[in-house]
DNA sequence: GTGAATGCAAAAGCTTTGCACTCGA
DNA sequence: TCGAGTGCAAAGCTTTTGCATTCAC
């Protein structure tokens, strides 16, 4: 008899300087950058960094729930803040801003279409900087 | 004295068989297709149709508010139903389903971050078909 | 007739992937 | 040591664009 034990959950992950730097940078900025921006900014401290590594790690961290992915017009942005909050896409300058939870209330009733496991609200608007 | 009158709004648009077919197809399906699907399905009745034309018209119609754009993981989907409703992305099969307005309530309070002009809620979940 | 829209194909993003090498445990 | 993670470059997708041609008005 053969017993196969499948252990669910993420694979063992080794420490990597690149992934740590990526996570640190993402947590220290509020600009919701894309992969390209992260790559260019990390190049300063990690000159050998490659874009493939950035994408690989972002994908991995997003799957593990360590960071958030924000799907926006034709490109993906990332957020190191995984607390429940929402985003506003400024139609004028393209920036993505945080909209804290207290401004919004969302309630979902039971339905027979799907079991809802989560949701994301992306607002459109004109940010305070652009209004001026 | 020179008077310049700027007329806001969309440019004059000529009728085009391709655009009409695209809009008809989009309004007659509930599957929230992407450009590729629309292209392949219209090829049957418009054999000379090109993918560039599909993209050009989708972009144009979305800008005019005639159709909706749904930004999803790494590709854009479209919806011919522009009435206020929400979407569920099934994490199992990848389908996008409609979630009628009555199941959801969203309220946004005044804030000093941005003037909010609209929003989109994308739910994640497991659809009824996949649950079975 | 005029120029908006098309078809085609090339180019331009963005993202993933194969492979040899490096480095963490 | 050994295999997960990296760097590099090529490939894969999706989307845009330039240009000659077609077609709506």
- Strand D lies under 7 A from the Cβ of residue B81: no
Residue B27 confidence (pLDDT): 97
For the record, the structure tokens of A40 come out as 């260019």
Residue A3 confidence (pLDDT): 37
Rounded CA-CA distance A96/A88 in Å is: 6
Give A109's contacts in chain B (Cβ within 8 Å). 102-104
Give B73's contacts in chain A (Cβ within 8 Å). 69, 71, 76
Q: For residue range A42-77, what is the model confidence (pLDDT) as tens digits?
A: 999 999 999 999 999 999 999 999 999 999 887 899
Phi, psi (degrees; rounded to nearest 5) at B60: -60, -50
Give A119's contacts in chain B (Cβ within 8 Å). 121-124
- Average pLDDT score over residue span B108-132: 90
Which of the four pLDDT bands, split at 50, 70 and 90, describes residue B11? low
Rounded CA-CA distance B61/B79 in Å is: 11
Considering only the C-alpha atoms of chain B, give the largest distance between any 2 of them, rounded to a whole number of Å.
73
Residue A79: closest CA among A94, A95, A66, A63: A66
Q: For residue range B57-99, what is the model confidence (pLDDT) as tens digits?
A: 999 999 999 999 999 887 899 999 999 999 999 988 888 999 9
Residue B9 has pLDDT above 70, yes or no: no
For the record, the structure tokens of A68 come out as 């958030």
Q: Which among B72, B105, B128 has the least Cβ separation from residue A114?
A: B128
Low-confidence ranges of chain A (pLDDT < 50): 1-10
Rounded CA-CA distance B31/B98 in Å is: 9
Please, which residues bridge with residue B114 across strands?
A127
Decide the pairing of beta strands B75-79 and A68-72: unpaired
Nucleotide nearest to A53 (CA to C1'): D6
- Strand D lies under 7 A from the Cβ of residue A13: yes
């Amino acid at each position: 008899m053969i017993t196969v034990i499948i252990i669910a959950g993420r694979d063992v992950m080794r420490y990597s300087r690149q992934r740590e730097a990526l996570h640190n940078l993402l947590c220290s900025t509020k600009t919701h950058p894309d992969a390209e921006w992260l790559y260019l900014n990390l190049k300063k401290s990690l000159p050998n960094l490659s874009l493939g590594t950035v994408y690989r790690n972002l994908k991995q961290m997003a799957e593990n729930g360590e960071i958030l992915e924000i799907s926006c017009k034709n490109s993906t942005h990332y957020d190191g803040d995984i607390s429940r909050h929402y985003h506003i896409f400024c139609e004028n300058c393209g920036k993505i801003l945080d909209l804290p939870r207290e401004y919004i209330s969302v309630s979902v009733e039971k339905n027979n279409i799907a079991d809802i496991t989560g949701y994301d609200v992306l607002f459109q608007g004109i940010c305070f900087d652009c209004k001026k």
